[in-house]
Amino acid sequence: MNKILLIIEREYLSRVKKKSFIIMTLLAPIIIAGFYGLIIYFSIQGVNGTFTKIAVVNENKTLTEKLVPTKNTGYVYVNTPLTQLKSSLKKTNYDYILYIPDFKLDNPTGIQVLGSKQAGLSLSSRISDDIEELIRNQKLKQSGISQADLEKLKSSVDISVKKIGEGGTDEDSSAGASTIIAYVAGILMFMFIMLYGIQVMRGVIEEKTSRIIEVIISSVKPFQLMMGKIIGIALVGLTQFILWILLTTTISAVAVKVFVSEKDLKQNEMVQVGAKKASQVASSTSGPMAGIQKSLTNLPVGKIVVVFLFFFIGGYLFYSALYAAIGSAVDSETETQQFMMPVMMPLFLGYALSLSVVTNDPYGNIAFWLSMIPFTSPIAMMVRLPYGVPDWQLALSMGLLVVGFIGTVWVASKIYRVGILMYGKKTSLKEMVKWFTYKN
């Protein structure tokens, strides 16, 4: 045990003292925050900052109603013939031409959007929706329905999703909140296993190719060396992960104070106070994000964090043992591809199915088995957890992950004890199977 602790200490200190570790630990939260900030900024600018002016050529004698300009789209009806307008479009201040031919309202065909540049998908969709609404409103008016009656026909439906808790009480719930937590937990789990699991493999390859392993193996057993390396790098990952959370939280708090004015903060506080005093009004005007924030207060955040840490560490240990086996079986990283694919496929499968099938049906059979099998449970269980998982399923999944880790370590140690001393010979899967028959 003391030897394993010494190896853990060596692996941990040798990595956290590196300049690259310190620099990336400090810069990563800033880079990530800036990256997502740019995405949000340009997305908002792309939607709200772009105004498109469209010349409308209406040759339809039945469609007498006109398109109403919006914040991002301006419709200007012109009497210029289409052919003439097309030839002189670049000389005008119009971005596109909307041509509405003569057609029956029951069969609107031949509508075209013309321009010197290709219209984007968002613009085409907006124009299509505006014309559909225009035709629908005119049909209703021709049926004798007034504009006031048309407004009465429009209804905004706000569905309150609740979950029946213990004792039959209703608890606020939100699929949006659960899905957000599921996505974040799944992505973090996937990234951590991939990033630090591969580091274990590279560490084994480096020591093997530098022949340091021959000196180390004379004083410790291969199993002790493997366990020390896996746990040591796991602690490095956890240290970096915790620091990233603390730094990201701090940077976010500072950014809010710097970029958000006191006026906006006061308005936000007034809205929150008003929501508490008039919950009936808030339920119809707060929108989906407010519902998600409200439902977050009813989620078992403490339980989610504890379970996340368990599967976070358990999933890493499970896959790191396999990566260590791969590293011991090859002489360079270029030879790892044939062995990494079988190890990575279950992880990719669990990630893809968890963020598609499990989020849509968290209580189905596929979701259940994905959250039980150790190869996929670290991601699948974290995706299922916010939706509510019975305690017996959670305990069974944890137990199977522990058993799977022990079994994986046993399998990996069989490969590790032979592979770390093999040089100059390309290892095949058939050769690795033979190593299991060695008794010493």
Give residue 395's pLDDT: 92
How big is the chain, counted in residues? Answer: 440
Give residue 275's pLDDT: 42
Residue 325 reports pLDDT greater than 90: no
Per-residue pLDDT band at 284 (split at 50, 70, 90): very low
Give residue 264's pLDDT: 47
Give the percent of the chain with pLDDT over 70.
Answer: 69
Per-residue pLDDT band at 369 (split at 50, 70, 90): very high
Reported as a single tens digit per residue, the pLDDT across 127-136 is 888 888 888 8
Give residue 28's pLDDT: 79
Rounded Cα gap, residues 187 and 180, in angstroms: 11
The reported pTM is 0.61
Residue 280 reports pLDDT greater than 50: no
Which residue intervals of the chain bear CATH 3.40.190.10? 50-143
The stretch 306-334 carries a mean pLDDT of 80
Give the percent of the chain with pLDDT over 90.
Answer: 4
Reported as a single tens digit per residue, the pLDDT across 14-27 is 888 888 888 888 88
Residue 312 reports pLDDT greater than 90: no
Contacts for 419-424: CB closer than 8 Å, 24+ residues apart: 419/325, 419/328, 419/329, 419/330, 420/204, 420/208, 420/213, 420/217, 420/222, 420/225, 420/328, 421/213, 421/214, 421/217, 422/329, 423/208, 423/331, 424/331
CATH H superfamily, domain 50-143:
Periplasmic binding protein-like II (3.40.190.10)
Give residue 158's pLDDT: 59
